[in-house]
Every structure is written in C-alpha cells, then in structure tokens.
Chains A and B, each alone.
Chain A
Amino acid sequence: MTELEVVREIDPSASVAAEAIVGEFCVVGPNVTIGPGTVLHRRVTVTGRTTIGSGNIVEEGCVLGAIPQDLKYAGSPTLLIVGHRNRFGPRVTAHIGTEAGGYVTRIGNDNSLDAGCHVAHDCYIDDRTTLGRNVLLAGHVLVQTGAVMEDLVGAHHFTTIGRFARVGPRTPVRRDVPPFTFFYSEDLERVPPAVRDVHYEGIKEARLSPSEEAELLRVLAELFDDESALQTKIEQLEKMGVEGEAAALCEFCQRSLRGVYGRYRELFRGQAPPEAAQYLPPEQQAILWRTRP
C-alpha cells in the first residue's frame, strides 16, 4: 500500500491552533483562523475570512466560508464568525456575509447543526440552537437562543426564529416565529403553518422563575388561543402591564407586525442590521459606516 505523503492542504498564512485537528483531504484557506480543540473531520473546506473558535466539531464534507449565493455580492472581504463548542454535521455549509447585509455571518456557541444544513449570508445564529437535518436558512435570518428547527425546515430570508421556539418538520417559515411557540402545519396544502401550541420544553429549558413562567403562559394563551387581531390583544396586554419574558414576547410580536409580511428584519433590507456592529472588528465597522446610504 502506498501512503500519501501530504493529505491536507493548509495555507501557510492560515492561523490554525496547535491543538486543533485537521483531518485528511481538508483544505484551509489563507485568511482562516481555527481555535484550539476544534476538530475538522475529512474533506472539510474552510475558505474566506472565516474565524472558528475553540472546541467545534466539523464533520465530513462541510464547506465553511464560501462566497454568498447572492448575485449582488462583488467580492468584498466579508466575514464568517463561528463561536465555540458548535457541532456541524456532515455536509453543512455556511457562507460569508455581503456588503449590503452588514458584512458578517455569525454562528454563536453550543449550537448543533445536523447533516446538510445551510447557513446563508448575513445570518445570525445565537447560542444553544438545534437545527435538524437539511435545515435551510436563507439570507439575513436570525435564529435566537435555544430555538429548535426540525428536519427539512426552510426559512425565508429576513425571518426571525424567536428564543426557545420550535419549528415542526418540513415547514416553510415565511414569517417570524414568536418565542416559546410551536410553529407548524399538519396539512401544508390546505393550512399555512402558524403558531399551533406552546413549546413547553423550551420554557423548561429557559429556566424562568415560577412567577415569570406563569405570566408567560398566560400571555401565550392570551395571544395565540384565538385568531382575533394580534395588535389589539398586544395593546390590551401592555395596557394591563406585562414584565420579563412576557413583555419580550409582546415586543417581538409587535415588531413582526411592524415589518413586511410579518418579517421584522425586512426593515433592514439594504442596510446593516443592529447585530453587525456587535461582531465586526473596528476597521470593518469603519467601512460599514462609510458605505452606509
């Protein structure tokens, strides 16, 4: 048997931590940073200006940091930032950001992305989310902490998946999913997906105080038990006074109503979203503000 002498290609200017493991047939590009304890399995490609933190597991065939699938992208040095302890299943793809969308795609900490997931340009995934098999996020999507998206979910661009929300399998998400809800349709051909239930496991996972939990459940029931106008119900609730997570839920729904087709983040179309400033290095921010219309 012949033994291949070199079976991985790491660009000399890439900064790969000594404790990181890069598997066979991996390709690591010149502007890539990989933190300690991160494991790249076989045939992983990491290109673009990509920063991967520590303790991540990247399984076979993943491609991180390729250019966006956006026809407006003209080659600017945008970023993909990955935090710590994430798990990328086989064939996960994540793209760098675009100029118009705020320069950065960001994946936080402790997320689990199963096989075939796609994270498009300018997406923000917060912490501890779970994405099932072949979950597709279009551009500019925000997935908040603790959200669960089951297999074959497709999220429309500019949607927001709220904190600890759950999206049922094979669901097209075309508008924002409020926090702590279960978003699903049992018969896609007849009924568009909508909030069907409360995501009780999510509430448990959020570890709220008993009083806060009770208030949240009350507000969730108030908002989603009947189909009357959400706006009036929110106004009534706010008049009576809501606090904590329940207030955040009302605020979330209000924002979605203010957006376009129930998508709050459509309001940031063509400009950098507020999250961009948080993750961009200073020199990149300077470009951002200079190019802002």
Chain B
Amino acid sequence: MPEISRHAVVEASAKLADDVRIGPFAYIGPLVRIGPGCVIDSGATVTGRTALGAKCHVFPLACVGAGEDGQVGECLIGQANAIREHVTIRGGVDRPTCLGDDNLIMIGCQIGPGASVGSHCILSNYTQIDAAARVEDHVGTSAFTFVASGVSVGTYTYVVGFTGIEDHAPPYAMVQGFPFRVRGVNTEKLRRCGFGDDDVRALKDAFRELFNQSGAEVDAEAMARLAAESNLNVHVRRLIDAIARRGPGSRT
C-alpha cells in the first residue's frame, strides 16, 4: 500500500505504485501515474496527465504537470529525477513535456509546456526553460539561465550563470553571456563522463577553428574543411553535424 499522509489529497483514479510515499498537504490529480519508489513531499502538486517514473523525488511545494490556462497538460518524467522545492514543470497540451532519467532540477526552475530535457542534466537554481525548448543529455546550467522558446542546448554543454540562450547552443561547449558566446569546450564535464584525452584535444582543436575570437559566429570555411575530412574524430563529427542541422540563419 502506498504511504499517504492523512492530510494529502489523492484523487481516487490516480495510479500509485505500492511503495509510493505522499507527504502532508500534497495533491495528486486524477490522471496521474506514479512509479515505484517515488516520494512526493509536503505541499507538492502533481496534476495533469502526468507519469512519474521510478524513484523520483518531488520536494516540498513543487508543481508538476499543470497545463497553462486551465487546460489538461501531459508530462512524461523518467526515472530517478530529483525535482526540488518550488520547481514548476508545465504539462504540454499539443505535445507532452518530457524529462529523461537521473536529472537534478534545482530550486525554483521552471520548465515550460512541451519542453524536453534529456537525461543526466543538472539544471541549477532558477533556470527558466521556455515552451518547446530542447535541452539534450548531460547539460549543466548555472543559476538564472534562460533558454528561449523552441531553441536547443546541445549535449554536454554547460551554460554559465546569468546566460540567455536565445538561439541554438552547440554541443560540448561552454557558453556565456547575452547574446551568448561560445567560451570553449566543457572539458571538466567531458572528463567526468569518461572522455579520453584524444577526444578532448580533438574537440578543442575543432572549437578553435570553428568559432572566431569572440565565439559569436561559426567560421563557414572551417566548417566546410572539417566536414570534408575523412577520418574525423567521432565527437567532432557530431559537433559539426549538430551545427549543420540548424541550417542557415542560425547564429552558431
């Protein structure tokens, strides 16, 4: 039996796994499914058409799954996510808001409707992710980061505090400022994720060629030269593919 506080409100049609714990004054909506091992703390709200994977922890006063303007939103959340105090995750109406596995969403973060966040991300306090934005795997953000509607932040990228991502950010990068500039390769994260020295060096060389001194634009010639190379490092290949996919008009 789930362990539900006598002060919690759980709608009868909500589906809770056997070992779920619901704290006092929490609210679980009628269309919610909660996986095994989840903990919903005091005062948290989980509503909309929301599915929480196993071992998620929703901290006090977080709000997950509410659609905008009273609409019923959909929100799909993977396993082992920590959703900290005062976080708001909106449910998407046209398409679901998605969260992968093993993310740490820190205090006060807001994730808009239809946004998607990959796995193993660490979103620092007060990170704002607008509607339909896309944050890929292993992304780290620092405090007060803003990701605009519809843009993507590439995998393994680290966003420095107070940065506004108003255009697609490339993978493997460290980005800073508003409008943001590419500052270099996110070497610390790459090392932690088991990248070898060769990979890191290849990425550093490619970054030096691709981004000009200010880090604001991609050098088209360098792009073409790298794309034509036959035995390119697999990560550099992924980097230029990711930049190429965004097409002309994109700032980076």
Report if A93-B104 is in contact (Cβ < 8 Å); known contacts: A9-B7, A45-B42, A170-B162: no
Which of B42, B82, B84, B177 has a CB less than 8 Å from the CB of A27? B42
B55 at the interface (CB under 8 A from A): no
Q: Which residues in B have their C-beta under 8 angstroms from that of A53?
A: none
In chain A between 182 and 233, which residues have their CB closer than 8 angstroms to a CB of chain B? 188-189
Against B, the Cβ 8 Å flags (1 = close, 0 = not) of A89-131 are 0010100000000000000000000001010000000000000
**With A and B bound together, what is the CA distance between A118 and B59 in angstroms?**
15
Q: Is the beta-carbon distance between A27 and B24 smaller than 8 angstroms?
A: yes
Q: Which residues in B have their C-beta under 8 angstroms from that of A156?
A: 161
Against B, the Cβ 8 Å flags (1 = close, 0 = not) of A42-55 are 01010100000000
Q: Is the beta-carbon distance between B5 and A9 smaller than 8 angstroms?
A: yes
Report if A66-B60 is in contact (Cβ < 8 Å); known contacts: A93-B86, A172-B162: yes
Interface size on B, residues (CB 8 A): 29
**With A and B bound together, what is the CA distance between A63 and B107 in angstroms?**
10
Q: Which residues in B have their C-beta under 8 angstroms from that of A189?
A: 177-178
Q: Which residues in A have their C-beta under 8 angstroms from that of B106?
A: 69
**With A and B bound together, what is the CA distance between A71 and B82 in angstroms?**
10
Q: Which residues in B have their C-beta under 8 angstroms from that of A61?
A: 61, 86
A179 at the interface (CB under 8 A from B): no
| Chain A residue nearest to B24 in the complex (CB) | A9
**With A and B bound together, what is the CA distance between A118 and B106 in angstroms?**
11
The smallest C-beta distance from B223 to any residue of chain A, in angstroms, reads: 26
B23 at the interface (CB under 8 A from A): yes
Q: Is the beta-carbon distance between B60 and A63 smaller than 8 angstroms?
A: yes
Which of B23, B84, B107, B144 has a CB less than 8 Å from the CB of A154? B144
**With A and B bound together, what is the CA distance between A156 and B125 in angstroms?**
12
Q: Is the beta-carbon distance between B59 and A66 smaller than 8 angstroms?
A: yes
Report if A154-B42 is in contact (Cβ < 8 Å); known contacts: A45-B61, A134-B126, A136-B126: no
A268 at the interface (CB under 8 A from B): no
Q: Which residues in B have their C-beta under 8 angstroms from that of A138?
A: 143
Q: Is the beta-carbon distance between B107 and A71 smaller than 8 angstroms?
A: no
Q: Is the beta-carbon distance between B43 and A45 smaller than 8 angstroms?
A: yes
**With A and B bound together, what is the CA distance between A6 and B24 in angstroms?**
11
The smallest C-beta distance from A188 to any residue of chain B, in angstroms, reads: 7
Q: Which residues in A have their C-beta under 8 angstroms from that of B43?
A: 25, 27, 43, 45
B101 at the interface (CB under 8 A from A): no
A277 at the interface (CB under 8 A from B): no
Report if A136-B42 is in contact (Cβ < 8 Å); known contacts: A27-B25, A69-B84, A71-B104: no
Q: Is the beta-carbon distance between B161 and A154 smaller than 8 angstroms?
A: yes
A-B contact pairs, 5 of them (CB 8 A): A25-B25, A43-B25, A43-B61, A69-B125, A116-B108
